[in-house]
Every structure is written in structure tokens, then in C-alpha cells.
A = this chain, B = another copy of it.
């Protein structure tokens, strides 16, 4: 490498600047081979100062790659930076012989893909952690078509699980005093109920009855990892529109609230998929709110039911069900059905019980609830508490869940037991109202009239 590496280290130019200068100097865009070479040099370096410069260079080059070149780079990562079979075989032979600590350690190291050490070293670069998270985001987008990249992804996941350990995360309150650079990311990352613009954001955040909290990681600065939006209410809320509209979406004075309603939880970093911290977030936020407002009694979500409408659609073609029931479901095809009181009432009588059945009884291949939001909250120890008819009458809400929303309730004394029952037996904790609805659905399915 170039002897003037320290210039690069000692100036504060960012990788983006480095790329721009390269471009301005008329150099062609980088080739994946250059990145591979930089990675190899980084692994060959013995961990001293040049490593920082090499890591910076490798990441800068990677960021300059075209999508095609990135695929080619991942192919090389999969092929050339894995563990080496001969080394493993040799280490195992030695271990079987010796059966001692040293040989076991050697075997462990032989099995560890060289990518893991590579990623650790790339992390030396300034802002390296975030660059690696983005690299995994690229990889995840390719994974379905390239199962041979699975090993790379496992290495990322292994390291990220260690680096994004809850012990390293920092909870911060987000409000109107938060820097704009962070707020614009809240706007961008909100995944449950889209935020239109800054005025919309302000309606959601900047009222005395709103709270928002996010997890941050010290090494990736002002990038939130996950955040949750909360409305302080009297009683459990059953409709999302007033909350999003900012009017009548909670108590005027926080001291009057008895409920904290979690109405949006959004993961921000695609590249951290599968690294779980959502459950820690909810529980830590409950703790914060309890501290600020000791009178709060209910910690509850107002959650979407993605996939429910599609499941209902399948029920229409399920010939084991009574024809009348299936015909009623057909009414959902009518435009603006939710505005016709009579039609809506007819649907409500059928759809609410089916929703309870869907959430309580429909399971996936691993025996857990079919609905992913249910899996998340039930797995955290919450209880399926209430099904809210016309809880979300936005186009999206109607399309994905026939307008239904659900409250999951976090009862502090029950969380642990619920969680254990769910884990051990996939038991769905639910309120008696929900269970009544589910029973009604069973009767409907058999053609019995509901009581």
C-alpha cells in the first residue's frame, strides 16, 4: 500500500469524500477485485495502525461498487473467505488425539470463517459498524436468489448479535427537541403508519400526551435502530385514526392517563434483521413510563393485523364453511363498505369472530401463530386482549385487515408466565372476550347460529 496512508488517516475526509475525489480525478468506478484485494491486505495486516486505513479503503471501495459488482464481491466472500476444509480436518484430527483445551481452541478457530475476522477488522474504520450493517442489507436483498450466500449472512448475524447486545444499546426519548437529523429518519423509517411530512411528525410527537423512544447504538451515532410511538389515553384506545390525526388522540393532561398505548413499532435498519431488541425496547419503555407517570395502569398496543384480509379471502373459497358465511364475506368487495352502517354491521358479526379464530388458532409450520405481529407480542408475554372493529379505516388498514386492529395487553405480573407458556406450549394468552369470539367463530363454521 501507498506510504502516505497516514495522510488519509490523519485528515478527516470521509469515505464519501474519497469516492468523490476519485470520481473527480476521472478514475473508473471500482471493481470488486479491488475490494477483495483490500480485504485480503486487511486480513494480512497484523492489526496495527495501517489496519484502520485499509479498512477505510475497503469500505470506501465497496460503497463505490455497482450492484453487479457487489454480487461478484459476495461471491468471492463466500468462496475465498470461508473456513478451510483441510485446516478443519487437520485440527479435528489433532483434537481427537489430544482432547485438550489447546486442540479444541485450534479446532474452533479453524472452523470460524475468515469472514468473521474480516468483519471485525472492517469495523476498525470510522463509521465501520454502520457500513457493515448496510453491507448486510445489500446481502439480504440477494439471499432469496443466492442461497449460497447464507454462510456470509450467518457470519454477519453472529457478529451483530454480539455487537448489538442489549447491554450496548442506549434508550433515548425522541421529541420535538430532538435534532432534525434524527427526526428525518423517524419520518423515513416509520413502517406501520406512514408519516407524511414534518407537520404530521409533529402531530404525532409533540403533544403532551405523546411519547416516542428509540434504541441507539453508540457506534452508529444518530441512526435509530428501532423506535416505538406511544399515546397516553384514558382507557384502551380502539381506533388509530384519532391518534394519527393528533386530535382527541389521548388525554389532554398526562396526569389523567391510565393507559399507555403503543401504536407503532418500527425497525429502522434492514441490515439488522433477526437481531432482536424489540422486546427489550417495549419493556424498557414501560419502565420509563412507570417512572414518569406512576399512575399508569395499562400498557397496551394498538396493533395492525397484516395478512388477515388475505386469510379471509381464502376462507371465501373454503368449502367446508357454510355458504351464507362465505357470501357475507363477499361484501368486503363493495367499495366503501365501511361507510354503510347496515352492511358494516352484518360484516362485523362475522369478521370479528373470525379474527379471534385467526389470531388464536391459526398456526404456521412451527406451530406458532400465523400472524407475525401476534407472534411478536405473545412471544413477549403480552395477552391478546381485544379485537377492534373499524380500528383502522385507512386504505391500507382496509386492505390488509378489513379495518381491524387489535390490542395486546402487557400485564406486568403475567408477562413471565404468558411468555413461558407461549414458548413451551405455544399457548396464546387471551382475554375472555377474545375467547368468546373464537368460540363463536367455531360455531359459525359449523353452521350453528351464534347465541
**A177 shortest CB reach to chain B, Å:** 4
In the complex, are the beta carbons of A162 and B165 less than 8 A apart? no
Within A140-159, the residues touching B (CB, 8 Å) are 148, 150-151, 154, 159
Inter-chain CA distance A222–B206, complex, in Å, is: 15
CA distance A165 to B119 in the complex (A): 11
| Chain B, Cβ-Cβ closest to A179 | B177
B48 & A287 in contact (Cβ 8 Å cutoff): no
Q: Which of A98-106, A300-308, A318-326, A387-395 contacts B (4 or more CB under 8 A)?
A: A98-106
A334 CB–B CB distance under 8 Å: no
With contact pairs A177-B181, A177-B222, A179-B179 given, residues A167 and B129 touching in the complex (Cβ less than 8 Å): yes
Q: Is the CB of B413 within 8 A of A3?
A: yes
List the one stretch of A107-115, A241-249, A425-433, A437-445 in contact with chain B.
A107-115
Question: Which residues between 67 and 113 of chain A lie within 8 Å of chain B, taking CB atoms?
Answer: 82-83, 85, 88-89, 92, 95-96, 99, 101-102, 104-105, 107-108, 111-113
- A128-B177 Cα distance, complex, nearest whole Å: 21
Residues of B within 8 A of A219 (CB): 167-168, 218
Secondary structure of the A side of the interface? helix
What's the nearest-Cβ distance from chain B to residue A376, in Å?
11
Interface size on A, residues (CB 8 A): 85
**Interface check A447, CB cutoff 8 A:** no
Contact of A170 with B218 in the complex, beta carbons under 8 Å: yes
Of A257-265, A275-283, A345-353, A359-367, the stretch lying at the interface with chain B is A275-283
**B-side contacts of A379, CB under 8 Å:** 48
Known contacts A120-B162, A286-B10: A181-B176 contact under CB 8 Å: yes
Tell whether, in the assembled complex, residue A287 and residue B183 are in contact, meaning their CB atoms are under 8 Å apart: no
CA distance A145 to B448 in the complex (A): 77
Across-interface contacts of A102 in B (CB, < 8 A): 150
> A151 vs B416: C-alpha distance in the bound complex, in angstroms?
35
Q: Does A419 make an interface contact (CB < 8 A)?
A: yes
How many Å lie between the Cα of A20 and that of B123 in the bound state? 41
Answer whether residue A124 sits at the interface, using C-beta atoms and an 8 A cutoff. yes
Known: A159-B162, A167-B124. Is A48-B279 also a contact (CB below 8 A)? Answer: yes
Q: Name 13 interchain pairs, CB-CB below 8 A, sorted by A.
A: A3-B416, A5-B416, A6-B283, A6-B412, A17-B253, A48-B380, A52-B283, A105-B151, A105-B154, A107-B111, A111-B111, A180-B180, A180-B198
Besides the contacts A6-B283, A111-B111, what 7 more A-B pairs have beta carbons closer than 8 Å?
A6-B416, A48-B380, A82-B104, A101-B150, A162-B162, A163-B163, A163-B168
Residues of A within 8 A of B (CB): 1, 3-6, 9-10, 17, 20, 46-50, 52, 82-83, 85, 88-89, 92, 95-96, 99, 101-102, 104-105, 107-108, 111-113, 120, 123-126, 128-129, 148, 150-151, 154, 159, 161-163, 165-168, 170, 176-181, 183, 197-198, 202, 218-219, 222, 252-253, 276, 279-280, 283, 286-287, 290, 379-381, 412-413, 415-417, 419, 423
